[in-house]
A and B are shown apart, each in its own frame.
Chain A
Amino acid sequence: MSGYFSEIISGGKSLVVGMSITLKEFFKPKVTLQYPHQTVKMAERFRGHIELIENESGEPNCVACGMCQRACPSGCISLTSKSVEIEVEGKTKKKKVLTSYDLNFTTCSLCGSCVESCNFDAICYSKEYNLASTRKEDFHFDLLKRLKERNS
């Protein structure tokens, strides 16, 4: 019988303690962010989709070696290149020039293998996270075009 009453009392006390905690939280400042009106600043290392890095002259750093393409687990990078002859210090050299760099973001798993495998510092992560669309085509990024748009 004493167990009966002590359970009622301790149980009632636990309920009061719980309610006092939620009441305290009621008056605390809010912790959420009103998303479309306020936005989060992405961490420096945030891994978004990739972007090409340009050199001083505005051309992509990429030498079209295709390491990223091979490293990608999902096969979402496809790039093409052509070789051109350029003159460096009086000598003609053959050089590969990037002609297209397509990222199929629909299958990308944002693992970062491509950036890691790149030896020429040619790709980086974008900080973009507001990616939403109802069309698949919107996620086939032409990174070369994006680079030009960024420069213009």
Chain B
Amino acid sequence: MSLTLINVLFAVVAAIGFAALNAAYLVWCERKGAGFFQRRPGPMENGPWGLLQPPVDGIKLMTKQLVIPGGVDKALFMVAPVLAMFPAIMSFVTIPFSENIVAQNMNIGVLMIFAFASMGSMAILFAGWGSRNKYALMSSVRGVSQAIAYEVPMLITVITIVMITGSMDLRAIALDQSGGFWQWNILALTKSPLMPVSFLIFFVCTLAETNRAPFDLGEAESELVAGFHTEYSSMGFGLFFMGEYANIVIGSCLTTLLFLGGWGCPFGLFPGVWWFLLKIYLLIFTFIWIRWTFPRTTIYGLLNLSWKILIPFSLFNLLLTAGLLKVF
């Protein structure tokens, strides 16, 4: 066995571990956060401050029966949850946590992450189609149109960043912003004065891509019961759940790397993995904060936002950045 293969295996195991641990404890954070936003303490019963809640939940999910309803498309039904989790884990492989902590750096890291991210909508489509449930089907159709609508502005903003940096390597993009918060892409006003707007667009798109409130139309519980995972039980549901949280982590990792200087310190001191973790968890907190503040949009509201506001703005920013790069 070659050394690279061992390296890759080790990386994959580490990524799975990180993703699973994060997913499990993000559920705890989400519930705690929800509780605090609603003036209640959240889970308190299992362990101190409810810290043992995630393992308990995990055991519950794993020991439950996996019900496969009659008439489902078995192959799609079984593949879908795996497909929801798999791209998330694969994306972790190429994310640099600091200058040296990266499982497998690639010079087209950005491209790879987006390639995997678009597989997520496949999982939704498979789950919705496969489970032979009208709610699930409607949800999956929504999910796909949402994914298409939001990948466009998201990629346009990413192209802007790639243009500024001149690289698709996530590590290079992060290193390009080192030195202090004035160097971060979110404040790169000299390169394009619309960069903060660009950040907002990217952030909104991340919310939509990860199916988070207020864009959680796929699983709009008051309309579509539970959306595409209505028919899933046990770990089938668990994988969807973990996949969602893993996607949130990846979304915040990307936002941090592309806009917030990666592992760089705001004041240029002691760059390192702790800054990176701090930034992603702050972003995740914002995700939770937004979820527990706003009502859900509708499908047309969501598409209107994407096509009428986000895409024009991101396109304009792209042109402006290109023009400024050409001039200066």
Residues of A within 8 A of B (CB): 8, 15, 18-19, 21-23, 25-26, 28-32, 34
B290: which A residues are within 8 A, CB to CB?
Answer: 19
User: Shortest distance in angstroms between A141's beta carbon and chain B's nearest beta carbon?
Assistant: 31
Identify whether the interface residues of B are mostly helix, strand, loop, or mixed: loop
Number of interface residues of B (CB under 8 A): 14
Cross-chain contact B294 with A30 (CB below 8 angstroms): no
A31: which B residues are within 8 A, CB to CB?
Answer: 39-40
Cross-chain contact B39 with A28 (CB below 8 angstroms): yes
Indicate if B41 sits at the interface (CB-CB under 8 A): yes
Cross-chain contact A32 with B40 (CB below 8 angstroms): yes
Cross-chain contact B41 with A34 (CB below 8 angstroms): yes
B38: which A residues are within 8 A, CB to CB?
Answer: 25
Task: Show 17 residue pairs from A and B whose CB-CB distance is below 8 angstroms, ordered by the A residue.
Answer: A19-B290, A19-B293, A22-B37, A22-B292, A22-B293, A25-B37, A25-B39, A26-B36, A26-B37, A28-B39, A29-B39, A30-B39, A30-B41, A31-B40, A32-B40, A34-B41, A34-B44
Indicate if B18 sits at the interface (CB-CB under 8 A): no
User: Shortest distance in angstroms between A33's beta carbon and chain B's nearest beta carbon?
Assistant: 10
Q: A19-B293, A22-B293, A31-B39 are in contact. List 14 more A-B contacts (CB 8 A).
A: A15-B294, A18-B293, A21-B293, A22-B289, A26-B36, A26-B37, A28-B39, A30-B35, A30-B39, A30-B40, A30-B41, A32-B39, A32-B41, A34-B41
Q: Whole-angstrom distance between the alpha carbons of A116 and B290 in the complex?
A: 52
A28: which B residues are within 8 A, CB to CB?
Answer: 39
User: Shortest distance in angstroms between B93's beta carbon and chain A's nearest beta carbon?
Assistant: 34
B292: which A residues are within 8 A, CB to CB?
Answer: 22
Residues of B within 8 A of A (CB): 35-41, 44, 289-290, 292-294, 309
Q: Smallest CB-CB separation from A20: which chain B residue? A: B293
* Most chain A Cβ neighbours within 10 Å, of B44, B293, B294: B293
B294: which A residues are within 8 A, CB to CB?
Answer: 15, 18
B39: which A residues are within 8 A, CB to CB?
Answer: 25, 28-32
User: Shortest distance in angstroms between A64's beta carbon and chain B's nearest beta carbon?
Assistant: 48
CB contact between A19 and one of B35, B40, B289, B309 (< 8 Å): that residue: B289
Q: Smallest CB-CB separation from B200: which chain A residue? A: A12
A26: which B residues are within 8 A, CB to CB?
Answer: 36-37, 289
Top 10 closest pairs, chain A to chain B, by CB: A32-B40, A22-B293, A31-B39, A22-B37, A26-B36, A30-B41, A18-B293, A19-B293, A26-B37, A30-B39
Q: Whole-angstrom distance between the alpha carbons of A18 and B294 in the complex?
A: 8
Q: Whole-angstrom distance between the alpha carbons of A95 and B27 in the complex?
A: 68
Q: Smallest CB-CB separation from A36: which chain B residue? A: B45
Q: Whole-angstrom distance between the alpha carbons of A29 and B38 in the complex?
A: 10
Q: Whole-angstrom distance between the alpha carbons of A23 and B41 in the complex?
A: 15
Q: Smallest CB-CB separation from A34: which chain B residue? A: B44
A21: which B residues are within 8 A, CB to CB?
Answer: 293
User: Shortest distance in angstroms between A30's beta carbon and chain B's nearest beta carbon?
Assistant: 5
Q: Smallest CB-CB separation from A28: which chain B residue? A: B39
Q: Whole-angstrom distance between the alpha carbons of A125 and B287 in the complex?
A: 49
Q: Whole-angstrom distance between the alpha carbons of A34 and B42 in the complex?
A: 10
Q: Whole-angstrom distance between the alpha carbons of A21 and B38 in the complex?
A: 11
B309: which A residues are within 8 A, CB to CB?
Answer: 8
User: Shortest distance in angstroms between B88's beta carbon and chain A's nearest beta carbon?
Assistant: 27
Q: Smallest CB-CB separation from B45: which chain A residue? A: A34
Q: Smallest CB-CB separation from A15: which chain B residue? A: B294
Q: Whole-angstrom distance between the alpha carbons of A18 and B295 in the complex?
A: 11
User: Shortest distance in angstroms between A38's beta carbon and chain B's nearest beta carbon?
Assistant: 11
Q: Smallest CB-CB separation from A18: which chain B residue? A: B293
B35: which A residues are within 8 A, CB to CB?
Answer: 30
User: Shortest distance in angstroms between A18's beta carbon and chain B's nearest beta carbon?
Assistant: 5
Q: Smallest CB-CB separation from B36: which chain A residue? A: A26
Q: Whole-angstrom distance between the alpha carbons of A34 and B309 in the complex?
A: 46
User: Shortest distance in angstroms between A1's beta carbon and chain B's nearest beta carbon?
Assistant: 12
B37: which A residues are within 8 A, CB to CB?
Answer: 22, 25-26
B41: which A residues are within 8 A, CB to CB?
Answer: 30, 32, 34
Q: Whole-angstrom distance between the alpha carbons of A5 and B316 in the complex?
A: 15
A29: which B residues are within 8 A, CB to CB?
Answer: 39
Q: Whole-angstrom distance between the alpha carbons of A32 and B41 in the complex?
A: 8
Q: Smallest CB-CB separation from A21: which chain B residue? A: B293
Q: Whole-angstrom distance between the alpha carbons of A25 and B294 in the complex?
A: 14
B40: which A residues are within 8 A, CB to CB?
Answer: 30-32
